[in-house]
Amino acid sequence: MSDLPPPVTKNSSRADLWEELEASREEIEAQQRELNALRANCKNLRRDLADAYMRLRVIQAAVTAYEVAA
């Protein structure tokens, strides 16, 4: 047998409906927190990538200047 509770329907009690609503709200909030954390991580990764790209461009400019001077 399944460990899941019976589904909530329009004929369910108000208490069952409220319990389902609260469970849904908690799940949505947990997903939103996870999404916010992923967005923050993505923002940090983009910043790190931009910094690395800037350093690469400086190195490329230095190599080009060295090659022209040689």
pLDDT, one tens digit for every residue, the chain (70 residues): 567 777 888 888 999 999 999 999 999 999 999 999 999 999 999 999 999 999 999 999 999 999 998 7
pTM over the 0.85 mark: no
Q: Which string of b and e fits 54-70 if b means at least 16 CB within 10 Å?
A: eeeeeeeeeeeeeeeee
Are the CB atoms for 12 and 24 separated by under 8 Å? no
